[in-house]
Chains A and B, each alone.
Chain A
Amino acid sequence: MNSSLLLSAATFIYALASVFYIGSFSFKKQTFARLGFWVIVIGLVANTGGILLRWVESYHMGYGHAPFSNMYESLVFFSWTIAALYVFVELKYKESIIGVFVSPLIFLSIAYASFDPSITSKITPLIPALKSNWLIAHVITCFLGYAGFALAFGFSFMYFIKPKDPGTKSLFAKLPDWDTIDELTYQMIVFGFLFLTIGIITGAVWANSAWGKYWSWDPKETWSLITWFIYAIFLHLRLMRGWYGKDLAIVSIIGFLGVLFTYFGVNFLLSGLHSYG
C-alpha cells in the first residue's frame, strides 16, 4: 500500500460519487444521492489516508515535510478540503441533492492532479523558502477558503438552471428552495472569506520572515487580494445593498473565477515568487 495507490483509489471513488449524484438528479432517485454521500465519505477516508501516507513516505525518503509543496499535492489537498466541507454541509443542512454541483469539482481537482502529464506526483525535497512552520498554516487556511468558494460556486450554479417556478414533476423539483440556496451560498462565502483572509495574512507574515517584506505585489499576492476584493464586494452588496438571487450569484461566480486564476492562472501565465502551487 502506498500513497499513490490510495490517491488513485480516491480519484475513482470520487468519480463514482459524482455518477451517483448526477444519477440521483437525472432519475430523481433520492437513494442514489444517499449512496453518493457515503461514497464521498469513503473517498474522503482514502484521500485522507493518501495524504497522511504521503507525509510518512516523505520522511522515509529523508525529506520529511508536509505534503503541501507542489501542484500535485495542493490539488489533492484541494479535493480533500472540498470533500470535507461538503460532507459537513450536507450533514448540517440535510440537503443531499446539492452534491450534484459539488461532487464533480471534488473529482475534477484530484483527477487533474493524476492525469495531467505536466504535474509530477514525485515526492520532492522542500526548497529553502518553503521550510517554515507557516507552510502548514498558510496552505490549510488558503485551501479551506478556496473550498468554501468552490461550494458557493456550485450552489450559485443552481440559480441558472432552476426555473422560477419548478412544477412538482420537473427535474428541478427536488432542488432546495430559493431561501436555502441563498443561505447556503452566503454561508459558504462567509466561511471562505474568513479563511482566505487568514490565508493571506499567514502568507504575509511568512513572507515577512522569509524575504523581509510582508507584501510585495507579487502576482500571487495581488490576485489573492483581487479575489478578496470581489468577495468583499459580494458581502457589501448582500448585507448593505440588499442584493440577492441571480445578480448576487453572478458575483459569486466571478469570485470563483478569481480563485481559479489565483490558483492556476498565476502559475501558468504569470511569473513570480510563488511558483510551487
Chain B
Amino acid sequence: MKQKDSFADQIWTFFASVKLTVYTLVLLAATSIIGTVILQNGSPEAYIRLYGPGLYNMIQVLDLDKMYQAWWFLLLMVVLCVNIVVCSIDRLSATWKIIFPKSILVNPRRFEKAKNRQQFDSHLPMDRVARHAKQVLAGRAGKVIEKTDDAGLILYAEKGRWSRLGVYVVHASVLMLLAGALIGSALGFKANLRLDEGQTADTVFDSHTRLPIKLPFTVRCNDFQVKFYDTGAPDEFKSSLTILENNQESFTEDILVNHPLRYKGINIFQASYGASTPDEALFEITDSETGTIETHTIKKGGVVSLSAGAGNFIFEGFVPHYDFNGHNLGGAFIGRLDTTNGRNVQIILPTKFPTFDKMRKGRFTVEVKSWDQAYYTGLQVTKDPGVPFVYTGFLLMIIGCWVTFFVSHQSVCIGLEQVGSGSTRVWVAGRANRNVQSTNLTVKKLVKELKGVSGK
C-alpha cells in the first residue's frame, strides 16, 4: 500500500494544483467587482450617507473602502504567487528534459496515428527520393535526423522545442509585475503640489498620509498657460518649470499632460490648474449725484478717497466662492464703502456679474473693470522605483504569451520504403504540441513537393 503523504507533501500538492489557480482567479475576478461598485477611499461621512451606519461597519471590518489594499485581497495575490512558483517548480523539470534532451529519440510509431498522415508511391528509386526528401524537409522543418530501421529509411526534423518555455515566461512576468508593484508601494510615493506662478517649493505632501516629503531639488513654476478650442473645451495645459539645485538654476522645461518632467527618479505631471487669488484690480466708481466716474487701480487692502470728499473705498480682498442667499456666485471681489456720514457698506463684486453693485441702489456704484488673472498649476509628483520591474514584466508577458500561443513544438517525419524494384513508398506525418493546423499545412506542402519531384 502506498504510504500516506506527509503534511508537507499535501501542502505542496495543494499549491501545485491548477484547480487552486482557477479558484484563485475566480475569487480575484469576483471580488475585484466590489471595488468598482463601492466607493473607494471616501470619508466616513460619505459612507454613512451612502450606505448607512450598519453597512459602514461591515465595510470597515472588511476594508472594502480600500479594497485593493485590503489584507484578504493581498492574500489572494500571495496565494496566486505561491501557486505560480510551486506549479512552475513542479513541472519545470519535466519540461526541461523535453526541451534539452540528451539525444533526440526518433520514434516513427508516434506518427502512425497522426490525422495528417499521407502516403503515396513514387516510381523513383529510394535513394533519389531520399535525397530530395532530405532537401525539402530541411527547408521546411529544420535540421534532418536520419534513421534506418527494418522497414526502411526514416527522416525526422523538428523545430520550436524551446517554445515550451513560453508559459513559464508568462508566469514569471506575473511575479515580476507584482514584485514591481510591491517595490513601488514600499519605496515610492504620490503627492500633489500646488504652485502659483512664480512660487517655488522643495517639499511635497503625500496624497494618502499627508506627510511632508523633501525633494532632492527645488521646483519653481515660472508660468502657466491654458489654451482652449473654439468649442470651449480645454486644448492644452502647460507649465514652465525650473529646477533649482543649491540655489542655482539647473534647467527649465515645459510640462504638459502626457509630457511629464522626469529628474532624479522624481516625476512631475501636469494634473490640474486653477485661478489664483487676484490681489490687484481696476475699479470704476460712479457717483450718481454728480455723475463723475473715477477709475483706480487698487492693491488688496488699499484705500482710495471718493469724489467730493464723500469718504473712502477700501479693496478688502477676493473670495473664490461667494454665497448670496444660498447661491454660489463664484469668485468675487470684496470691498467696503466708508462714507463720511458714518455708514459702512460691504461691496460685493462677483466676477460673473459685473454690474451687481447697481442693485444696491446707493449713491456710489462700484464696478471691477479688469484684473490680472494669475493661475496656479496643480502638479502630481511621484516616485516609483518599481516601474522598471513592472515594465520588464509587461515585456516578458507579451513575449511569453506570443510564444505560448503562437509558436509550437512541431515535428515532421518522412518514412521511405522500397517497394518492388525502383519504386518507393513514402509516408509523411507531423505532430505538434499545439497549433496542429500549421503542422498539417507543412505536411501538405511536403507531400506536394515530394510528389512534384517524383513527377506525379
Contacts and interface: CB of A to CB of B under 8 A. Distances in A.
Interface residues of B, number: 48
Main secondary structure of the interface of B (DSSP, over half): helix
B29 A233 contact: yes
Contacts of A63: 229
Contact of B401 (A128, A131, A197): A197
B257 A236 contact: no
A125 B229 CA distance: 7
Interface stretch (B42-50, B102-110, B232-240): B232-240
Given A194-B405, A211-B271, A241-B19, A222 B32 contact: yes
A194 B270 CA distance: 32
Contacts of B269: 210-212
A170 B258 CA distance: 58
A183 to B, nearest CB: 8
A42 interface: no
A176 interface: no
A56 interface: no
Contact of B18 (A206, A211, A236): A236
B258 A129 contact: yes
Contacts of B68: 217
Nearest to A254: B29
A213 interface: yes
A124 B231 contact: yes
A198 B260 CA distance: 23
A1 interface: no
Interface string B1-44: 00000000000000000110110011011001101110010000
Interface string B389-431: 0110010011001100110000000000000000000000000
A251 B37 CA distance: 23
B257 A210 contact: yes
B260 A209 contact: yes
A236 B84 CA distance: 12
B203 interface: no
A190 B405 CA distance: 7
Nearest to A134: B258
A213 B382 contact: yes
Contact of A233 (B25, B40, B267): B25
B256 interface: yes
Interface in A6-25: none
A125 B233 contact: yes
A211 B207 CA distance: 14
A240 B29 contact: no
Interface string A129-171: 1011000000000000000000000000000000000000000
Contacts of A232: 25
A251 to B, nearest CB: 10
B123 interface: no
Nearest to A133: B258
Contacts of A211: 269, 271, 380
Interface in B127-146: none
Contact of A201 (B28, B32, B384, B394): B394
A223 B36 contact: yes
A215 B18 CA distance: 27
A183 B405 CA distance: 13
Per CB-CB distance, the 9 closest pairs between chain A and chain B, nearest first, are A229-B29, A128-B257, A212-B382, A240-B18, A219-B36, A132-B258, A125-B229, A190-B405, A212-B269
Interface of B: 18-19, 21-22, 25-26, 28-29, 32-33, 35-37, 40, 68, 181, 190, 229, 231, 233-237, 256-260, 267, 269-271, 380-382, 384, 387, 390-391, 394, 397-398, 401-402, 405-406, 437
30 contacts: A63-B229, A124-B233, A125-B233, A127-B234, A128-B257, A132-B258, A183-B437, A190-B406, A194-B398, A194-B401, A194-B402, A194-B406, A197-B397, A198-B398, A205-B391, A205-B394, A206-B258, A209-B260, A210-B269, A211-B380, A212-B260, A213-B382, A214-B387, A215-B181, A222-B36, A229-B28, A236-B21, A236-B22, A241-B19, A270-B37
Interface of A: 63, 124-125, 127-129, 131-132, 183, 190, 193-194, 197-198, 201, 204-206, 208-215, 217, 219, 222-223, 225-226, 229-230, 232-233, 236-237, 240-241, 266, 270
